[in-house]
Amino acid sequence: MYDEDRENGDGAPREGEAPLEKKEAAGESARESAGKESRRESSVSGRHSGRHHYAFDPAARLKELVEAGMEIWTVAARYGKMNNSGLFFCTACGFAPEEHIVVKTKMGVEMGRALTAPVPYDKLEERDAPVEFHGEVLRPAQKEDISRWQYIQDELCEKEFDICQDLIKKHGLAMKLVDVEHLFGGDRIIFYFLADGRVDFRALVRDLSREFRTRIEMRQIGVRDEAKLLADYEHCGRPLCCKTFLKDLQPVTMKMAKHQKTTLDPTKISGRCGRLMCCLRFEDEVYTWLRSKLPRKGWKVQAGRIRGEVADVNLLKEQVLVRTESGELVWVHSSEIQKAFDPRKQD
C-alpha cells in the first residue's frame, strides 16, 4: 500500500517532526524497504493535509454510547457510490425508510438512504450472532444537505474527473478512469479505475492531493464493478441487481445456466458488464431445490394409473412429462407422483 499521509501539502515538517534533511535521509531507507513489498491493487491511499486526517471506529463509538446510558436505535441503510448496505446505530429516530440520512463510517461522513425504520438496539442484543455496524447516523438529511450533495454530484465530481483524466494522460498511465466518489464530508475523494495490471500512480496521487487538498484514494476495480457504477438497467428491463440489492459479486458459472435450461450462448446470458448475469447465481439455489423435488429425465414414475418414463422436466411448474407405456405424453405434477426411481440403479 502506498501512503503519503505523513507529508503536508506545502512540504514543511509538522510540529514535533524531524527537519526535512533528516526526514529525507530516513525516507531513502524506508523507500528501499518499501520497494521490496508488493502493493495491493484494490485500494491505494494518497496523501492529505493534516486537518483532513480521519479515524472512526463504529464499535468504540457504540460502546461509548452504551456506557453513557443513551437510548440507541438501529437502522439498515445504503450508502456510498458502490451502493454498500449495512446496519447503523443512532440516538435519534426522526426519519423514515427511503429518506436520506447523513452517516459517519470508517471512510468519513457520507450521504446515505434509510432502508428500514429505526429499531431499538435492545432487540438486536437478543440475537445470538454478533452484529457488525457500518457506522453511526448523525442526522436526517436537511434541505441544505441535499442541496450540497447535488452540488457535489453534479459539479465537483465532474470537475475532479476531468482533472484526474488530464493528469493520467500527462503521466502516460495505462489506466481507464471510470468514476469519482467525493465523500459528503470532504474527508476523501475516491477515483475508480480499470487497468490490466499494476499501475505505479504515486506521482498521480501526489498531484491530485496537491490539487484537491484532501485524502486521495485510487481504487482498481473490475468490469462488473464498472457496470455497477455506471449502468442502470439490464436487458430484462429491470434495474441492475448489483446496483439494487446484491452486496457481494460472487462467481457465476455456465453450470448455473444449464440448471435453468436457458440458452448457453454467452452473448445472450451476459449482463451489462459482459460477464454471465448475476441472477443466474442467486436464482441457482431455488433451481437446485426444485430439482431435488422432481425425478430426473429417464426415471420411471407412477402417478395413479399413469406409469412411464420421464421425458422432460419443468422446474418452475414442478411438473414432469411422462411417456406412458402406450407412447402417450402426459404432464404430471410432483404432488401426484407416488413412486419414482432410477431404473439404472435397480438390481
Domains of the chain: which residue ranges?
Answer: 20-52+148-223, 58-145, 224-288, 294-345
pLDDT the model gives residue 45? 39
Q: Is 193 exposed, middle or buried (0-12, 13-18, 19+ CB in 10 A)?
A: buried
Residues whose CB falls within 8 Å of the CB of residue 30, separated by 6 or more in sequence, listed in order: none
The pTM of the whole model exceeds 0.95: no
332: left (phi over 0), alpha (psi -120 to 50) or beta: beta
- pLDDT value, residue 11: 37
Q: Report pLDDT for 20.
A: 37
Q: What is the pLDDT of residue 316?
A: 87
Residue 54's pLDDT is what? Answer: 59
Domain 294-345, CATH class in plain words: mainly beta
- Mean pLDDT in runs of 10 for the chain (347 residues)? 38 38 41 37 38 74 93 94 92 91 95 94 74 93 96 95 96 96 95 94 95 95 88 84 81 88 84 88 89 88 89 90 90 89 75
What does the pLDDT read at residue 115?
94
pLDDT (0 to 100) of residue 5? 42
User: What pLDDT is attached to residue 107?
Assistant: 92
CA distance 4 to 124: 40
The residue whose grid cell reads 454467452 is 266
pLDDT at 68: 92
The pLDDT, as a whole number, for residue 347 is 53
| Contacts with 127 (C-beta within 8 Å, 6 or more apart), sequence order | none
Answer yes or no: are the C-beta atoms of 90 and 136 closer than 8 Å: yes
Q: How far apart are CA 97 and CA 99, in angstroms?
A: 6
Instruction: Report the distance separating Cα 306 and Cα 116, nearest Å.
Output: 51
At residue 2, the pLDDT reads 40
What pLDDT is stored for residue 151 in this prediction? Answer: 96
Amino acid 6: pLDDT: 34
